[in-house]
């Protein structure tokens, strides 16, 4: 068990001095507690008995902590202004007599990081993570055995990049002695070098293992951008993860939504009761609205209007609220395009249906000819981005370019693409986009929303309302004035959505789509190996949901197969294409390719049983 820790805290923190004031940056407050005290508390909880702090700038601030924490001992680097972190670490050569944890004072991290180091079988371990893109990263190059080869802030100095340095390390006493010996030599030429450089220099003689945690929540705080990320994304995730009393039984939902959620999203719903008319809750909804907009557009030009209801509520709100007497062309290449036609029919809209294949890309030339032949002026075009019934991904950017030329407002149902497939509403010329909380956002069902071009939306004020609850402009205007919904929102579900948004920001939409795509490749490779086929070719596939041709076996029955998987903790979904016998597998939500591999293993067992093998 590791009983000692060293925190390097001699730096001046000049890049964030304005915020830190006359105190070291380790004393920046998050949730009414300083960064350094968050770290101290976690070290003590991990069983550390002695915490050395290497001080420099404003050393007296750290020395005050010794009164409250008897575990702390401060060691001063009097030359902190002209030396680097290795020189500060070197000051402990006469204090350290055992293995220890080495930390940086400006790192915010979840306690799982310490648990990983303390319980690791190796004596010398550098904790690393996936690249977070926050800036000022220290990149790590490792060998084939994940031992340290090089570290640098300059990518070009490395032959390859394996991970990013977190700022938490476990060092054996023997390796520390070797590091001090190396430092003696290095200091003859340069005393401003950092401890990372020292570790690289001794890595040829001492194997220092690089342990990578891809989903570790952490960040350093060097500047204002780091601070914003720490307070709005990273710390809320850490707080949520560490606040979970126990894990919830995990089911793998391979249906196209609601998707598998994290425990942190589930537990976000457990909050004190609050009236949705309170200012505090209004601020929560304001955060949700603004951040949902930022995923696809500039909040100065676009806005998000929230509704309590399924995704269909958002689609119906757009069609019933923004189309006046103009003609709308609805592209129907699946059940959800067909659903938009039904909505238009019910509201008596002047619509024309353009039918296209549910499996193949839209023929742009044919679509242009279709619209050209329409005698009335086409003002709107509505379509589904990712057809949930098959996984077909329509090329909305190409269609948007055509709409821009013809001055046609484009309406997009993005239920199964939003927060996975990158979308830029301005670039793609989307006037209105509909989505919901329970698919790629990985939130709970019950909240849908419309993201609208503000200028376009403002012009709908004069259109006579066709309904009350779903009237888009009135919902928008009321929220702008009051920061509230007109009618009672699903309060607890909103808190879950807020957490889901933060987790989406943490992962990043492009990285999320990479994860989904890897699961999709695993799925399609697997079903092909098992002799099954899927409908939509890869060139036009969303890589989000896949419609698979059912096995040609007289013993096959979807309900029986569903129940077989359900008992194993997996949920699959029936097909939705007329005259085609299919079932659907979605690879969205809080799952990975490993979950898909488990599904394929079970599918192989099921298919063998059908054949009597």
DSSP bridge partners of 433? 412, 451
Cα angle vertex 42, ends 41, 44, to 5°? 65
Give the H or E element holding residue 93.
Answer: none
**492 CB-contact burial (10 Å; exposed 0-12 / middle 13-18 / buried 19+):** middle
Cα angle vertex 109, ends 589, 122, to 5°? 95
Q: What is the DSSP letter of 248?
A: P
DSSP bridge partners of 547? 584
**Rg of the chain on CA atoms, in Å:** 28
Is beta strand 218-220 parallel, antiparallel or unpaired with respect to 302-308? unpaired
Give the H or E element holding residue 44.
Answer: helix 35-45
pLDDT of residue 613: 67
pLDDT of residue 13: 87
Taking the C-alpha atoms of residue 472 and residue 319, their distance in angstroms, rounded to an integer, is 10
Q: Where are the beta strands (DSSP E) in 77-147?
A: 100-104, 107-109, 125-129, 139-142
pLDDT of residue 134: 86
Cα angle vertex 605, ends 604, 609, to 5°? 115
Nearest to 238 by CA among 108, 82, 327: 108
Which alpha helices (DSSP H) does 442-570 contain, by range?
A: 454-458, 472-482, 491-507, 509-529, 558-567
pLDDT of residue 490: 96
pLDDT of residue 485: 95
pLDDT of residue 229: 95
pLDDT of residue 135: 87
> Is 287:511 a contact under the CB 8 Å cutoff?
no
pLDDT of residue 133: 87
**CA 281 → CA 236, 278, 421, distances in Å?**
17, 6, 30
Cα angle vertex 128, ends 126, 129, to 5°? 170
Nearest to 61 by CA among 41, 38, 83, 34: 34
> Is 602:570 a contact under the CB 8 Å cutoff?
yes
pLDDT of residue 579: 72
Range 509-611 classified under CATH 3.90.1150.10? yes
* Segment 13-20 long-range contacts (CB within 8 Å, at least 24 positions apart): 13/57, 13/106, 13/222, 15/222, 15/223, 16/221, 16/222, 16/223, 16/224, 16/226, 16/227, 19/224, 19/227
Taking the C-alpha atoms of residue 358 and residue 379, their distance in angstroms, rounded to an integer, is 25
DSSP bridge partners of 432? 411, 452
> Is 446:495 a contact under the CB 8 Å cutoff?
no
DSSP string, 389-430: TT-BB--HHHHHHHHHHHT-EEEEE-TTTTTTS---HHHHTE
DSSP bridge partners of 170? 101, 125
Which alpha helices (DSSP H) does 245-323 contain, by range?
A: 263-267, 279-294, 311-322
Fold for domain 4-237?
Spore Coat Polysaccharide Biosynthesis Protein SpsA; Chain A (3.90.550)
**156 CB-contact burial (10 Å; exposed 0-12 / middle 13-18 / buried 19+):** exposed
Taking the C-alpha atoms of residue 365 and residue 53, their distance in angstroms, rounded to an integer, is 69
Residues 508, 512, 518, 523, Cα dihedral to 10°: 180
Q: Taking the domains of the chain in order of start, what are their residue ranges?
A: 4-237, 509-611
Nearest to 584 by CA among 533, 530, 545, 537: 545
Please report, for the chain, how many H helices and E strands are present, in that order: 22, 25
Q: In the chain, what is the straight-line distance between the N-terminal and C-terminal CA atoms, in Å?
A: 51
pLDDT of residue 600: 98
Total number of residues shown for the chain = 613
Give the H or E element holding residue 465.
Answer: none
> Is 443:437 a contact under the CB 8 Å cutoff?
yes
Q: What is the DSSP letter of 230?
A: I
Average pLDDT, 10 consecutive residues per value, the chain (613 residues): 95 90 93 96 96 96 95 96 96 96 96 96 96 90 96 94 97 96 94 95 92 95 94 96 94 96 97 94 97 98 98 98 95 95 97 94 96 94 95 96 97 98 98 98 98 97 96 98 95 98 96 97 98 94 96 92 96 84 95 98 95 77
Is beta strand 378-384 parallel, antiparallel or unpaired with respect to 327-332? parallel
Q: Where are the beta strands (DSSP E) in 155-243?
A: 163-171, 209-213, 218-220
> Is 138:157 a contact under the CB 8 Å cutoff?
no
* Segment 198-207 long-range contacts (CB within 8 Å, at least 24 positions apart): 198/86, 198/89, 199/126, 199/148, 199/151, 199/169, 200/148, 200/149, 200/150, 200/151, 202/175, 202/178, 203/147, 203/148, 203/149, 205/178, 206/124, 206/174, 206/175, 206/178, 207/124, 207/145, 207/147, 207/148
> Is 322:461 a contact under the CB 8 Å cutoff?
no
């Amino acid at each position: 068990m590791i009983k000692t820790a060293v925190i390097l805290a001699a730096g001046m923190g000049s890049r964030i001095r304005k915020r830190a004031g006359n105190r070291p940056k380790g004393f920046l407050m998050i949730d009414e507690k300083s960064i350094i005290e968050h770290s101290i508390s976690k070290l003590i909880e991990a069983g550390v008995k002695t915490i050395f702090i290497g001080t420099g700038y404003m050393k007296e601030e750290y020395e005050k902590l010794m009164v409250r924490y008897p575990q702390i001992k401060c060691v001063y680097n009097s030359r902190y202004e002209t030396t680097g972190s290795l020189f500060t670490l070197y000051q402990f050569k006469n204090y350290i007599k055992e293995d220890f944890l080495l930390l940086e004072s400006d790192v915010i991290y979840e306690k799982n990081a310490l648990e990983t180091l303390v319980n690791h079988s190796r004596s010398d371990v550098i904790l690393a993570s996936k690249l977070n893109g926050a800036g000022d990263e220290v990149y790590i190059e490792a060998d084939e055995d994940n031992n340290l080869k090089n570290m640098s802030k300059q990518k070009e100095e490395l032959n390859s990049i394996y991970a990013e340095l977190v700022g938490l390390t476990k060092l054996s006493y023997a390796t520390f002695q070797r590091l001090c010996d190396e430092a003696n030599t290095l200091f003859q030429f340069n005393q401003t070098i950092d401890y990372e450089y020292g570790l690289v220099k001794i890595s040829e003689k001492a194997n220092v293992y690089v342990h990578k945690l891809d989903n570790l929540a952490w960040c350093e705080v060097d500047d204002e951008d780091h601070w914003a990320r720490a307070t709005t994304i990273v710390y809320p995730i850490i707080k949520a993860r560490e606040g979970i009393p126990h894990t919830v039984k995990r089911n793998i939902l391979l249906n196209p939504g609601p998707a598998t959620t994290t425990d942190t999203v589930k537990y976000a719903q457990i909050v004190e009761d609050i009236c949705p008319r309170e200012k505090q809750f209004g601020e929560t909804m304001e955060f949700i609205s603004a951040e949902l907009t930022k995923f696809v557009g500039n909040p100065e030009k676009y806005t998000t209007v929230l509704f309590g209801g399924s995704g269909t509520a958002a689609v119906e709100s757009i069609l019933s609220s923004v189309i006046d007497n103009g003609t709308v062309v609805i592209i129907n290449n699946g059940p959800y395009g067909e659903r938009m036609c039904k909505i238009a029919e019910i509201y008596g809209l002047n619509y024309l249906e353009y039918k296209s294949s549910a499996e193949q890309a839209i023929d742009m030339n044919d679509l242009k000819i279709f619209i050209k032949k329409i005698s009335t002026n086409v003002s709107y075009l509505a379509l589904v981005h990712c057809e949930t019934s098959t996984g077909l991904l329509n090329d909305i950017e190409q269609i948007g370019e055509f709409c821009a030329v013809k001055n046609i407002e484009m309406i997009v149902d993005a239920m199964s693409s939003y927060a996975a497939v990158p979308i830029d509403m301005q670039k793609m010329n989307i006037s209105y986009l509909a989505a919901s909380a329970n698919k790629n956002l990985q939130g709970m069902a019950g909240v849908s929303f419309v993201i609208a071009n503000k200028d376009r939306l403002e012009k709908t004020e004069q259109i006579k309302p066709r309904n009350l609850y779903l009237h888009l402009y009135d919902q928008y205007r009321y929220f702008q004035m009051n920061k509230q919904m007109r009618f009672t929102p699903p309060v607890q579900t909103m808190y879950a959505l807020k957490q889901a948004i933060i987790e989406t920001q943490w992962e990043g939409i492009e990285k999320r789509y990479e994860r989904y795509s890897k699961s999709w490749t695993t799925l399609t490779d697997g079903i092909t190996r098992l002799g099954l086929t899927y409908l939509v070719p890869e060139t036009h596939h969303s890589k989000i949901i896949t419609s698979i041709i059912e096995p040609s076996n007289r013993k096959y029955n979807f309900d029986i197969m569903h129940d077989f998987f359900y008992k194993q903790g997996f949920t699959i979904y029936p097909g939705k294409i007329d005259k085609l016998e299919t079932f659907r597998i979605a690879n969205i939500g809080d799952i990975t390719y490993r979950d898909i591999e488990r599904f394929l293993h079970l599918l192989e067992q099921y298919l063998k049983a059908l054949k009597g093998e």
